[in-house]
Amino acid sequence: MDTGTAIFLSILIPFAAVFTNLIFRNSPNLRDGLTGAASVLAFLCVLVVLYNEGNGTSEEIVWFQVFPGIDLAFKVEPLGLLFAIIASGLWIVTHVYGIGYMRGNNESHHPRFFACFSFAIASAMGIAFAGNMFTLFLFYEALTISTYPLVAHKGTPEAIRGARTYLAILIGTSIGLQLVAVIWTWALAGTLDFTNGGILAGHIEGPMVAILLGLYAFGIGKAALMPFHRWLPAAMVAPTPVSALLHAVAVVKAGVFTMLKVGVYIFGIDFLAETGASEWLMWLAAFSILAASVVALTKDNLKARLAYSTVSQLSYITLGMALATTMGALGGGLHIATHAVGKITLFMCAGSIYVATHKTEISQMNGLGRAMPITYGAFLVGALSIIGLPPFAGSWSKWLLIVGAADAGQIVMIGVLMASSLLNVVYLLSVVGRGFFLPAADPGKHDHGHGGQDDHAPEGEASAMVWGPPVASAVLCLVLFFFAGDVAAFLAPIAEPAATAVAATN
Amino acid sequence: MATETGTAQEVVHQAAALADHLPMLVVLVPFVAAPLVVVLGSRGLAWWLAFVASVVSTVIAAALLARVFDGSVISYAIGGWAPPLGIEYRIDAANAFVLLLVAGISTVILPYAKVSVAAEVPKKNHTLFYAAYLLCFTGLLGVTATGDAFNVFVFLEISSLSTYVLVAQGSYRDKRAFTAAYDYLIMGTIGATFFVIGIGFLYMATGTLNMADIADRIAEQGSNRTVRAAFAFIVVGMGLKAAVYPLHLWLPGAYTRAPSAITAFLAGTATKVAIYVLLRFFFSVFQPGFTFTVNTLEIIVIPLAILAMFAASFIAIFQNDFKRMLAYSSIAQIGYILLGVGLLTATGLTAGIAHLFNHGITKATLFMGVGAIVLRVGGSWYDRIDGLGRTMPWTSAAIVLGGLSLIGVPGTAGFISKWLLVQAALEKGWWPIALLVVASSLLAVVYVWRVVEALYLRVPQGRAAEATDPPLMMLIPLGLAALACIWFGFDTRVTIGASQMAAEGLLAGSAGMLDSVGASSALPLGAGH
């Protein structure tokens, strides 16, 4: 199978799953089985692309022309391929988890849920393989629209409010700022193709570079850069599988992935370094990292805490781009992968706790670790990876980011990354600590806000379909530690040609 | 064998001869069908005649567009009386595109109208209803096809008078349709009067009624007070018909109260045709270089367009009736079109013309969706449409697609024209305008999402709980229109191609009589004239 077909199928298969879910709405096993098969097939297609890419067979695949000079086109490059592998690979895990969660929780509207979920994955695949900014923007918006029903899923006033915030910020920033940035880029450079070394050098100068970068940085709302981060905590009203795959991996990673793409292929790392246009973004990202961590500390709701942790971690990647060094960009790219496996583990554990006990607040979770050792063990591994301790994956990306900061001569940024790690320790490990070491709360004192659900006493784990996936992703955190070097080497080409291009001009 | 070949040649020859008359036939077919409907007096036949006439006109319009797609101009002299003395029909990319839009929307809407009208208008009126519809259709096509200024007025009145009747037919569902039709009658008549006064001044100044000829004379004699007065009268008159903010007051009432199918048809076509006439006068009759045109566009039209984009969108947000909300949204969208025109660049004009088409199909989709809801639930108030996503899934899905196109989400028709519009503003260096365009798109998100939330996130009550999707006769046209909103979001060969060609043609200024001779002689016109 050639790369073009594989890309086509990796988008089409999840898209087809949208319709199988709607058509077989009344036969749950067939429906979920087909979607599961689709997730495996989509992953295989991505692997085929990876295999072909290894043989150096990648080139631009044009579907058709939309505007004169602007095509709906796809192109394989390391960052996108990495994103595609993560999103499609974790889709398999999350689908299994999603079936367990949705059935275990008696949630309603399964067909709509899984249909929108599949649509979101198809959009994520489109983003990953997009060959130009136009194609990326198209799928970026498709991702927003398709995840909206998932956030509003429960239909409660709270869910509707959350979904409104979600849509308002994501659509507002993307149409209000990003679209302008994209069209401006097109008007300046006459192309939107992702090109090594960027396309803007020589077309724009002075403070306008920083303004254009600002339009992109704030316009890519999915990267949750402060002050446009409110949608992410708001999205936590969605069922946990959504929070796990979409709001820890696919959607937010689509955001920072776009951010990296813009930095590396639209502006070009060297162009950013020369003009210093990204310096303000670096400071904002640093602020975002620390502020979101501090806010996370104050959150008692576990998913809200994880959401703010995500806001903070996403800014690591934005920071990596804004450092405008090769190592920074590489660290950012690697962090997409390591944070994905770490954070999805944490979210799936939160969901596992919810299914087993219907508890959402950390203060209610005292002593749960002894009743649910597998879930809490997986949570601990995920947390350590996010904090950045060896032997877990997160340590490498943090390492590269620190090296990147050192390369850029930004000593303060090293301090920021260190301080953030310490904050991570406090807000993540306290959850584990409460679970294992504090005595369980007196059942009589339960918060009656969850009235009638107290029969879910902490008697043990939920079904294997719920605790199995987080364990699998926790193992991935460990495995990725040993293969991080390979991933980094795989990503290396994103910055190389830019360097040679500069060498040539010198 | 020989005779057979002879007959075949004869047929080919006749077909070729017929092909020369396409510019007139596109108007003539529905024009003849209208009295035929009345004379035959059969309810069953009335719809069929209207539908066949509409299909034929669509095919002809498509053929005409194909012929002028390369930028050529077809000049057709009615009855063989050579212009400027006789009436000339002049087809170029700009009006062939509008002809296709009008005829295409009519063809899609008629099957839908059959069911919808049967439910909303009493049986005894059906025959006359379709006759009026055909006249309205004829008028719109005629206004678009003709190259004669007075002929524009004649067809304008044909379409307007029949539109007043059609709007008033909504009175069987809602008595307020009478006042709406009456409002429209008064305003429309004022508009038409202004327009004909303007034509009168032009005749006074130039002694001719042929648009291309007028253009030549104005170019020769330059601007004077009579010409400027003519310009002002024409712009205001047509501005009323096009519902240019703040001359839009007739529109919300007429759109809200008219029978559903008529609203869908008018929203997609009537204001669009009026805008086309404005374009024709701005650029072909008065030259684009005519400083008065430039000043009017920059000082009056652009600010009004921006005002429309915001004021009408804000009003749309606070409506409680889905149909009325869409009507205000139309006024805002007309602002986009005029903004593109006002930029006075090739890209801007392309954006305006493309949006004229894209918004036409988008609004037709949405109004058809509302019509389906009205059929099942009896009204389009927001509290009545609650939860219809569950009980009318296909209708709701089509409405969502139309809504996305209205916002301008990528992958929809609306996105294409908004992209072009922002691009045009940026190319001109008017970045605040670009920001205003996207900002007002965000207002569209708000008013569209009110509908989406009502449809999908509330529990259906009363009639909504028992509603079902409308019959296939309505559902299929609705689905087709919704798919067109997506289709033209990806395949832009026709929309952008024709818009670009039209924009180039318009910006090149009037091909005056001299050019027109050159253009028509280049075409294989039959010896018949």
- DSSP line for B103-152: HHHHHHHHHHHHHHHHHHS-GGGHHHHHHHHHHHHHHHHHHHHB-BHHHH
Both tokens of residue B149?
Answer: 């200024």
Chain A residues near residue B404 by CB distance under 8 angstroms: 145
* Burial bucket for residue B11 (CB in 10 Å: 0-12, 13-18, 19+): exposed
Residue of B490, B494, B495, B500 to mutate, interface with A, max A Cβ within 10 Å: B490
Chain A residues near residue B427 by CB distance under 8 angstroms: 187
Tell me, yes or no, if B490 comes closer than 8 A to chain A by beta carbon: yes
* DSSP-assigned beta bridge partners for residue B148: B210
Chain A residues near residue B496 by CB distance under 8 angstroms: 67-68
Amino acid occupying residue B100: L
Please give the Cα distance from B382 to B454 (Å, whole number). 7
Helix (H, G, I), strand (E, B) or coil at B92: coil
Asked whether the CA dihedral B367, B368, B373, B375 is positive or negative, the reply is positive
| Alpha carbon distance, N-terminus to C-terminus of chain A | 42
Helix (H, G, I), strand (E, B) or coil at A505: helix
Range name among A79-83, A165-169, A201-205 with the lowest pLDDT average:
A201-205
H or E element, residue B290: none
Model ipTM value:
0.83
CB pairs under 8 A between A and B: 72
Is there a contact between A171 and B492 if contact means CB atoms under 8 Å apart?
no
On whether the CB atoms of residues A406 and A291 are closer than 8 A, the answer is no
Tally the C-alpha atoms within 13 A of residue A151's C-alpha that lie toward its C-beta: 28
On whether the CB atoms of residues B211 and B143 are closer than 8 A, the answer is no
Please give the Cα distance from B273 to B139 (Å, whole number). 10
Q: Please count the residues of chain B.
A: 529
Tell me, yes or no, if B410 comes closer than 8 A to chain A by beta carbon: yes
Range name among A129-133, A268-272, B235-239 with the lowest pLDDT average:
A268-272
For residues A321-325, give the mean pLDDT: 84
Residues 6+ apart with CB under 8 A from B131: B34, B35, B37, B38, B46
**Range B417-437 burial, b when 16+ CB lie within 10 A, else e:** bbbbbbbbbbbbeeeebbbbb
Q: What is the pLDDT of residue A441?
A: 65
Long-range Cβ pairs for the range B183-186 (8 Å, 24+): B183/B249, B183/B250, B183/B253, B183/B254, B184/B250, B184/B253, B184/B254, B186/B250
Angle at A233 between CA A228 and CA A234, to 5 degrees: 90
Chain B residues near residue A68 by CB distance under 8 angstroms: 496, 500
Tell me, yes or no, if B443 comes closer than 8 A to chain A by beta carbon: no
Task: Convert the pLDDT of each residue in B251-265 to its tens digit.
Answer: 998 999 999 999 999
Amino acid occupying residue A415: G
Task: Convert the pLDDT of each residue in B358-380 to its tens digit.
Answer: 999 999 999 999 999 988 888 88
B524 pLDDT higher than 80: no
B135 pLDDT higher than 90: yes
On whether the CB atoms of residues B195 and B205 are closer than 8 A, the answer is no
* DSSP-assigned beta bridge partners for residue A130: A74
Chain A: closest CA distance from residue B438 (Å): 5
Helix (H, G, I), strand (E, B) or coil at A70: strand
Phi-psi region of B11 (alpha: psi -120 to 50; beta: other; left: phi over 0): alpha
Tell me, yes or no, if B408 comes closer than 8 A to chain A by beta carbon: yes
Residue of A25, A183, A185, A186 to mutate, interface with B, max B Cβ within 10 Å: A183
H or E element, residue B76: strand B74-77
Chain B residues near residue A136 by CB distance under 8 angstroms: none
H or E element, residue B292: helix B291-295
Task: Convert the pLDDT of each residue in B344-361 to its tens digit.
Answer: 888 899 999 999 999 999
**Domain locations in chain A?**
3-442+456-505
DSSP string, A153-169: TT-SHHHHHHHHHHHHH
Task: Convert the pLDDT of each residue in A482-500 to its tens digit.
Answer: 887 778 777 777 766 544 4
Choose the closest CB to B496 out of A68, A137, A164: A68
**Range B478-503 burial, b when 16+ CB lie within 10 A, else e:** bbbbbebbbbbbbebebbbbbbbbbb
Amino acid occupying residue B73: V
For residues A392-418, give the mean pLDDT: 86
Token match 């590489």: residue?
A330
Give the residue on A whose Cα is nearest the Cα of B413.
A66
SS (H, E, C) A195-207: CCCCCCCCCCCCH
Choose the closest CB to A141 out of B410, B490, B500: B410
Please give the Cα distance from A22 to A31 (Å, whole number). 8
Q: What is the pLDDT of residue B288?
A: 66
Residue of A18, A21, A65, A66 to mutate, interface with B, max B Cβ within 10 Å: A66
What is the percentage of chain A residues whose pLDDT exceeds 90?
A: 3
Please give the Cα distance from B156 to B276 (Å, whole number). 12
Where is pLDDT greater, at A80 or B524? A80
What is the percentage of chain B residues whose pLDDT exceeds 90?
A: 44
Chain B residues near residue A212 by CB distance under 8 angstroms: none
Both tokens of residue A308?
Answer: 């703010």
DSSP string, B461-472: -THHHH--PPPH
Tell me, yes or no, if B434 comes closer than 8 A to chain A by beta carbon: yes
DSSP string, B379-393: --BTTTSTTHHHHSH
Quick one: which of A369, A333, A329 has its CA closest to A353? A369
Where is pLDDT greater, at A326 or B134? B134
SS (H, E, C) A276-305: CCCHHHHHHHHHHHHHHHHHHHHCCEHHHH
| Alpha carbon distance, N-terminus to C-terminus of chain B | 33
Amino acid occupying residue A442: D
Chain A residues near residue B442 by CB distance under 8 angstroms: 171-172, 175-176
Task: Convert the pLDDT of each residue in A439-489 to its tens digit.
Answer: 776 554 444 444 444 444 456 777 777 787 888 888 888 888 888 777 877
Residues 6+ apart with CB under 8 A from B429: none
Residue B160 phi, psi (nearest 5): -65, -50
On whether the CB atoms of residues A461 and A378 are closer than 8 A, the answer is no
Choose the closest CB to A160 out of B438, B439, B453: B453
Q: What is the pLDDT of residue A259?
A: 87
